[in-house]
């Protein structure tokens, strides 16, 4: 049995940003607090959003001080601004960081408490303010998930927070918002969404519903990711990546992620590596470690991605999957931690703490092969390059 949770309203397709006012009306809200970042303001994308709202007679307050990998301090600043405003909903507009920030403050606005008290294994289900998620990247799938991640600056820990309070009420999935995004961002967010799909499919919490979403995501993302990186204006590739990321978000929200994500969060927290990039750095090694425990499931991933044929045996299909993951990293210029410029001494100094944080998140427990701390440390050593 599985409990499936989805946003109440999902609008998918090019130009669906224009339907935002109608979606707000369906929720009975009209005074949005927009959480975004400075780049989206300077690039004119926030102005586009505000124009859509203004045309419908909707006034909004904008908070644009989010940062990559949102911190407790940023969440507290955004929450203070929200409390000072007369707003009845929160719009997360941007990549994963603005949407994660929006989720956190929407919950805290109704049930004030320290941010740290929300981290797993705690569950936050009490509804907060309605969350409207409008992603501008095809990666996190956060518009469809019941998770948010906030970094505790004091401990350098990326805190995973889970519960229905973080599940958006509305998701606007408009691929046109991703047109022209640079190759590096497209690659990192794309591999992030591919990782979501693979991990959801092999997760111990996988179910028939999440399986369908995960396989759909892989079928959409794998053939499109290189094209989207090389041809930033390719509408078909951009749409496939956006819908694939959304399906992957639905999949992992209802099946959970596993070891790759458990290990990648500490890398991001300690070394400020973008989340999708840290996933990409770890995905080949973790897949090779995990595959023997779920050969048939990983073989299904290879077939869904189009790198193995339906009549190929599982062992051969998984071998092709491992080759493809390495090739994808090479084609998309994914660096190792070493070539990314991370100090070898510092990396190995914090490996034990990264392993501890990875295990504490609970995500490795969903993996087909559940590692102990020593095995995670060895995987970090292998991935360093």
**Which pLDDT score, from 0 to 100, does residue 156 have?**
86
Position 223 in a domain: yes
Percentage, residues of the chain above pLDDT 90: 97
Regarding whether 310 and 255 lie in a shared domain, the answer is yes
Regarding whether 76 and 205 lie in a shared domain, the answer is no
pLDDT classification of 122: cutoffs 50, 70, 90: very high
pLDDT tens digits for 306-323? 999 999 999 999 999 999
156 neighbors 119 (Cβ within 8 angstroms): no
| CATH number, position 141 | 3.40.50.1970
**Which pLDDT score, from 0 to 100, does residue 107 have?**
98
pTM of this prediction? 0.96
Reply yes or no on whether the pLDDT at 1 is more than 90: no
Identify the CA nearest to 161 among candidates 137, 189, 142.
142
Sorted by sequence, the CB contacts under 8 Å of residue 41 that are 6+ apart come out as: 47, 62, 64
Position 2 in a domain: no
Regarding whether 359 and 235 lie in a shared domain, the answer is yes
Residue 336: DSSP 8-state: P
Position 347 in a domain: yes
Strand 147-152 with 61-63, pairing = unpaired
Coil, strand, or helix at residue 90?
strand
pLDDT tens digits for 340-382? 999 999 999 999 999 999 999 999 999 999 999 999 999 999 9
Residue carrying the six token digits 């956060």:
142
Could you say which of 155, 178, 201 is where a domain stops? 178
Q: Which domain holds residue 208?
A: 183-384
Q: How far apart are CA 298 and CA 93, in angstroms?
A: 34
Regarding whether 268 and 142 lie in a shared domain, the answer is no
Q: What is the enclosing helix (H) or strand (E) of 103?
A: helix 96-110
Could you say which of 178, 213, 230 is where a domain stops? 178
pLDDT tens digits for 127-148? 999 999 999 999 899 999 999 9
Reply yes or no on whether the pLDDT at 192 is more than 90: yes
Q: How far apart are CA 30 and CA 129, in angstroms?
A: 12
**Which pLDDT score, from 0 to 100, does residue 375 have?**
98
Give the distance, in angstroms, between the CA of residue 78 and the centroid of all CA atoms in the same chain: 21
Regarding whether 203 and 139 lie in a shared domain, the answer is no
**Which pLDDT score, from 0 to 100, does residue 282 have?**
98
Regarding whether 162 and 57 lie in a shared domain, the answer is yes
Position 3 in a domain: no
Task: Say how many residues make up the chain.
Answer: 385
Position 189 in a domain: yes
Position 364 in a domain: yes
Regarding whether 195 and 150 lie in a shared domain, the answer is no
**Which pLDDT score, from 0 to 100, does residue 80 have?**
97
Position 4 in a domain: no
Q: How far apart are CA 219 and CA 308, in angstroms?
A: 12
- Cβ burial of 305 (10 Å; 0-12, 13-18, 19+) is buried
Regarding whether 204 and 104 lie in a shared domain, the answer is no
Identify the CA nearest to 118 among candidates 80, 69, 151, 162.
162
Look at the chain and report how many structural domains it folds into: 2
pLDDT tens digits for 92-101? 999 999 999 9
Regarding whether 379 and 313 lie in a shared domain, the answer is yes
Regarding whether 332 and 245 lie in a shared domain, the answer is yes
Could you say which of 122, 154, 178 is where a domain stops? 178
- Cβ burial of 191 (10 Å; 0-12, 13-18, 19+) is buried
| CATH number, position 232 | 1.20.1090.10
Position 291 in a domain: yes
**Which pLDDT score, from 0 to 100, does residue 266 have?**
96
Regarding whether 143 and 101 lie in a shared domain, the answer is yes
Regarding whether 141 and 91 lie in a shared domain, the answer is yes
273 neighbors 340 (Cβ within 8 angstroms): yes
**Which pLDDT score, from 0 to 100, does residue 136 have?**
98
């Amino acid at each position: 049995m599985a409990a499936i949770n989805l946003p109440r309203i999902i609008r998918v397709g090019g130009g669906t940003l224009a339907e935002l006012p109608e979606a707000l009306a369906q929720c009975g809200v009209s005074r949005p607090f927009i959480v975004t970042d400075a780049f989206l303001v300077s690039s004119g994308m926030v102005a586009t959003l505000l124009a859509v709202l203004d045309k419908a007679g909707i006034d909004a307050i904008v908070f644009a001080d989010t940062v990559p990998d949102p911190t407790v301090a940023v969440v507290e600043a955004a929450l203070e601004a929200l409390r000072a405003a007369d707003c009845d909903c929160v719009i997360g507009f941007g990549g994963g960081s603005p949407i994660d920030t929006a989720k956190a403050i929407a919950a805290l606005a109704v049930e004030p408490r320290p941010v740290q008290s929300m981290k797993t294994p705690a569950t936050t289900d009490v509804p907060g303010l309605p969350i409207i998620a409008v992603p501008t990247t095809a990666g996190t799938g956060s518009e469809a998930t019941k998770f948010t991640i906030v970094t505790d600056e004091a401990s350098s820990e990326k805190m995973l927070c889970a519960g229905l309070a973080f599940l958006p009420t509305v998701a606007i999935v408009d691929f046109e918002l991703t047109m022209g995004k640079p190759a590096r961002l497209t690659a990192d967010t794309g591999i992030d969404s591919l990782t979501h799909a693979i991990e959801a499919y092999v997760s111990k919490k996988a179910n028939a519903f999440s399986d369908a979403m995960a396989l759909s995501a892989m079928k959409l993302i794998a053939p499109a990711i290189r094209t989207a990186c090389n041809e930033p204006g390719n509408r078909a590739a951009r749409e496939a990546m956006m819908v694939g990321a959304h399906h992957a978000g639905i999949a992992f929200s209802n099946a959970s992620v596993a070891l790759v994500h458990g290990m990648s969060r500490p890398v991001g927290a300690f070394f400020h590596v973008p989340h999708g990039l840290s996933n990409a750095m770890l995905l080949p090694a973790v897949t090779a470690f995990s595959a023997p425990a779920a050969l048939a499931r990983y073989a299904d991933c290879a077939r869904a991605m189009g790198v193995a044929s339906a009549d190929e045996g599982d062992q051969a299909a998984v071998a092709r999957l491992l080759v493809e993951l390495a090739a994808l990293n090479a084609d998309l210029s994914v660096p190792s931690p070493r070539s990314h410029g991370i100090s070898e001494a510092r990396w190995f100094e914090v490996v034990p703490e990264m392993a501890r944080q990875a295990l504490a998140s609970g995500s490795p427990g969903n993996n087909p092969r559940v590692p102990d701390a020593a095995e995670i440390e060895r995987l970090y050593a292998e991935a360093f390059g």
